[in-house]
Amino acid sequence: MTHEALANQKELIEALIASLRETDEYLTEQTQVIEPSVSLGRLTRMEAIGEKAVQEHVQALNQKRIIRLEHALDRIEAGNYGLCPVCNEEISAERLSSVPEAVMCVACMEKRAKS
Ligand SMILES: [Zn+2]
């Protein structure tokens, strides 16, 4: 991968992390403990709890992606970003632009999924 392509990936990853963190903060605000005394309007308490569970699930997925993206930044720093550790081939630019945190190339990932 060229130096320029790497710099672009880094920007892409940093922007993604920033927007995921914003979502995370928003969800944290939304999932504050539901106080029994709080008026929930039309929502019943049970509905509010169900919604909270969904938000917490989305938040957990978000946080996992942030961690994977941070690991990708580490790989950029270490100089092994975009190299599949299984076959040592470069991961396609196409895959890295849609999944910048990808660790393995598509071929190796599919092999692993089948085994
Ligand atoms: Zn591979």
How confident is the model over 47-86, as pLDDT tens digits? 878 888 888 999 999 999 999 999 999 999 999 999 999 9
**Confidence at 39, pLDDT banded by 50, 70, 90:** low
Whole-Å CA distances, 31 to 20, 34, 37, 58, 81:
16, 8, 16, 11, 35
Query: What pLDDT, on the 0 to 100 scale, is given for residue 36?
Result: 63
84 CA to middle of ligand 1, Å? 5
99 CA → ligand 1 middle, Å:
15
Coil, helix or strand at residue 82: coil
CA of 95 to the centre of ligand 1 (A): 12
Distinct helix (H) and strand (E) counts, the chain: 4, 0
pLDDT of residue 7: 95
Q: Is pTM beyond 0.75 here?
A: yes
